[in-house]
Structure 1
């Protein structure tokens, strides 16, 4: 496994090309335009919250480390809306679990957000510093068009702001907007964005995913669901079916054997690789896996 020092060194090199919207062009292997979902491989690996068992979840340094290591073609983050309309990267409705302070996210404004600091879990490998959680605009400016992103809209009233930011950067084919609610997924589709719908194992028991095929671009299914439920999802007509939240090669292999074409994982370094095999070492960004 790469050390924290090595990751930061690689991150520093990568930052030379990740200068933000309107900055330096993307690396030449990605062509003149933004990287889109059409460039994804047949089997996709997604770093859930950046890979929450390996890096501080939903942090800029964690997303950068996942990006540089190259063990995922897609970076995932959660989004919340502040009281002043700023969209930020945060999973919970409160700050209590992941930061050094407490209180509701919605009660803060952009100026307050500058003072929030993440509290990395002591269980994480390596030595991670406390840092401010990013805004969604900062994540789009750092990674947009360089890697495919999934953004879960925890607050459905953030959709207009998310759509405006994604459109302004020319990323409508590069960012999935995720929700657990089919009606929110329909709204995402109507906004001209890529819609992602996640469903739990319990929900999949009674779901009829084929009903969503006209407006869902990506069905995000619980790997703990029954075989029959996963197969029904795969056969629904929805173009992409990815399994969450996988943490072992055995879980990965089962999901792929049942027809899923993507793995959403908290441990991308652990599950990277072909079914039935090991990772064979960690690739670096720019090298073709």
Structure 2
């Protein structure tokens, strides 16, 4: 793998031998869909939109980060094929040349074989990045390049509802262009922690989502956002009263993150949330098939 001299100084080589071997690996070894899983939602006469979502919606957070390599194409594909979630969630960041890519952290260190800031790379240099799957993940996974946002939209857009978090608000015009060009303005939620960013998303003609922490929900008045927020994404750890206030806000959809247990799921649904954002969509779906609350 060859890096331009300007990049060498900002990237930390980590596990050099492992990186060299990882560079030749491209995709997952997938053990197959969960038994009894729902069939994936497919593109019919036109792109599937949020209008097709069920009354209670399950979201695979970062593809289902306790079950698959987070924010990877193979992980998103596995979640899609298993059919245990109706929405695929992923994070986005902006490269130096303006290319939006699928990645959560500001730096490469935690999830790849390299170190350094994501924003320092361009699209050509991004081709050399390889994800490092966690050893604790079930199944067998191979290293692969993190996808670009365009690649994810091309693979899944219109076939399942998508949720992307714009980690860098500067990316909104570029994201809007990618979404509009594919006719997916009613098929992709654009997420941020900032209600003012959600307002910008709404003005761009996209589906706006705003996530809030348990601490933020203590003082939030989400009814003030209902004219421009399509989806309120609330922390399941928030107090009952705060979750109930969010549900009564007038915002059409209120989904809770990041749920991993049956008890957490049952509580937020009992309080009126109509969606569950989870790192373990397969496990929750299996629990539902065994008779837990759906």
| TM-score bracket relative to the smaller structure | 0.7 to 0.9
- Give the secondary-structure state (helix, strand or coil) at the position aligned to 2:32: helix
**Unaligned stretches of 5+ residues in structure 1:** 9-13, 18-25, 282-288
Deviation, 1:98, is: 0.3
Partner of 1:23: none
Deviation, 1:226, is: 0.2
Partner of 2:263: 250
Contact 2:207 2:230 (8 Å CA) reproduced: yes
Distance in 2 (alpha carbons) for counterparts of 1:138 and 1:5: 20
In the superposition, the TM-score normalised over structure 1's length comes to 0.87
Structure 1 moving runs of 4+ over 2 Å: 3-8, 277-281
Contact 2:58 2:87 (8 Å CA) reproduced: yes
Which among 203, 211, 232 is matched to residue 245 of structure 2?
A: 232
Partner of 1:212: 225
Distance in 2 (alpha carbons) for counterparts of 1:162 and 1:220: 20
Which among 55, 73, 82 is matched to residue 60 of structure 1?
A: 73
Deviation, 1:272, is: 1.9
Deviation, 1:225, is: 0.2
Contact 2:73 2:152 (8 Å CA) reproduced: yes
Which among 38, 50, 53 is matched to residue 51 of structure 2?
A: 38
Distance in 2 (alpha carbons) for counterparts of 1:7 and 1:184: 39
Partner of 2:288: 278
Partner of 2:122: 109
Distance in 1 (alpha carbons) for counterparts of 2:174 and 2:283: 35
Distance in 2 (alpha carbons) for counterparts of 1:147 and 1:74: 6
**Unaligned stretches of 5+ residues in structure 2:** 1-27, 34-38
Q: Does 1:127 align with 2:140?
A: yes
Partner of 2:184: 171
Deviation, 1:4, is: 5.3
Count how many residue pairs are aligned between Structure 1 and Structure 2. 261
Which among 61, 79, 92 is matched to residue 79 of structure 1?
A: 92
Distance in 1 (alpha carbons) for counterparts of 2:204 and 2:146: 27
Deviation readout 1:108-165 (Å, 9 max, x if unpaired): 0000000000000111111110000000000000000000000000000000000000
Partner of 2:278: 265
Distance in 2 (alpha carbons) for counterparts of 1:84 and 1:5: 33
Structure 1 residues 4 and 254, CA gap change in structure 2 (3 angstroms): farther
Partner of 2:110: 97
Distance in 1 (alpha carbons) for counterparts of 2:289 and 2:111: 30
Deviation readout 1:45-88 (Å, 9 max, x if unpaired): 00000000000000000000000000000000000000000000
RMSD over aligned Cα, in angstroms?
2.0
